[in-house]
A and B are shown apart, each in its own frame.
Chain A
Amino acid sequence: MIETTSTGVLALIGLMTLVTLVTRFGGVFAMSFVRISPRIESFINTMASSVLIAIIMPLAFSGDAGAIAALSTTAAIMLATKKPLPSIAAGIIAAGLVRYFL
């Protein structure tokens, strides 16, 4: 327990910063002890895009109709055009429209 006096708050912010820094540095630091074989390279590559999927899926499943409209619109347009900005913009507009009308 830390009391949220001004020193206490500073301590909490300092600790949060430290923990976050460990996560920012830790993966790279650990990798410096690993020899990058083709197998590790392949692991890293599939893991990287899986991070994105793993962030998005629960977002879609816990989201409202607007969230689902946004993600599916972005996905459809991105797959068709491969242009990120129009895809994202269309997704946002879809969410806004669905929430306005539903």
Chain B
Amino acid sequence: MKSASYSYQLQPAKIRSEFFRLLPISLFVVAFGAAFGLAAAQAGLTPLETLLMSGAVFAGASQFAAIDMWGPQVSTLPLLAVVFAINSRHLLMGASLYPMLKNVSPGKRYGLLLVLTDANWAVSAQEYQNGRHNLEVILGGGLVLWMAWVIGTLLGVYFGGLLQDPKSLGLDMVLGCFLLAMALGGKQSPRILVSWTVAAVASLAAWKWLPANMHVVVGALAGGVIGYFWLEKHADSEQVQEEATS
């Protein structure tokens, strides 16, 4: 592994096409960014600080939570604990990409992960379920999502007052619907359906009874346990065939 020849070549043309493929969903991300910019301005952050947070942290839900805890003084450890809890899903998302990421150099691997977020990961994970390897969407899609988040933040900071209630237009459901469509676009086998049921029940139980923000990780791990003990019988031979034919 030392004198590594990494088998996955990132294709610039595909990175570009994935950038444009996630452009439509990014337009909605602009709206969320604007809502964040407005909330941050109201909490007393300067425009520059708000932009810096969006550009560097690039994790919407945790940024909203941080703004909720903002004041003349901020208790650091509780804030960081909340940020970690909300973003801990990234740990699992990254891990799920490892079978592909191990085939690119460490520099590229961690570079790609800088722009890892729900939407581009969901596309890549769904394609992986269907036997296609797509890391380009992490980079190309991640860049367009990042730009949308920063531009949205900027708009919200300066023109937030003009925002119509995005909820009345159903815009708050865009990401949820997107993630659901990605989930249902994958293969459905009895094994997957059982793991989803377990994940659904576990996440709801965690959401109800465990400390806040743990439900995603709890539900996902519970679903994963099903996969650990229930192996798809023909998965291996199918994969070999696919690799031989592609």
A residues contacting B by CB (< 8 A) are 1-4, 6, 8-10, 12-17, 19-28, 30-32, 36, 38-62, 66-67, 70-71, 74-75, 78-79, 82, 84-85, 87-88, 91-96, 99-100
Contact = CB atoms under 8 A, between A and B. Distances in A.
B176 to A, nearest CB: 5
Given A49-B195, A53-B203, A74-B180, A39 B231 contact: yes
Contacts of A44: 95-96, 98-99, 224, 227
B177 interface: yes
Nearest to A45: B227
B91 A26 contact: yes
Q: Which of B75, B177, B221, B224 counts the most A-chain CB atoms under 10 A from its CB?
A: B177
B170 A70 contact: yes
A91 B199 contact: no
Interface residues of B, number: 99
Given A23-B84, A50-B223, A52-B180, A70 B173 contact: yes
Interface of B: 24, 44-46, 49, 52-53, 56-59, 62-63, 66, 70-76, 79-80, 83-84, 87-99, 101-102, 109-110, 113-114, 116, 118, 122, 125, 128-129, 167-174, 176-186, 191-192, 195-196, 198-200, 202-204, 207, 215-228, 230-232, 235-236
B14 to A, nearest CB: 18
B117 to A, nearest CB: 9
A31 B98 CA distance: 7
A60 B225 CA distance: 24
Given A13-B57, A48-B129, A88-B174, A54 B199 contact: yes
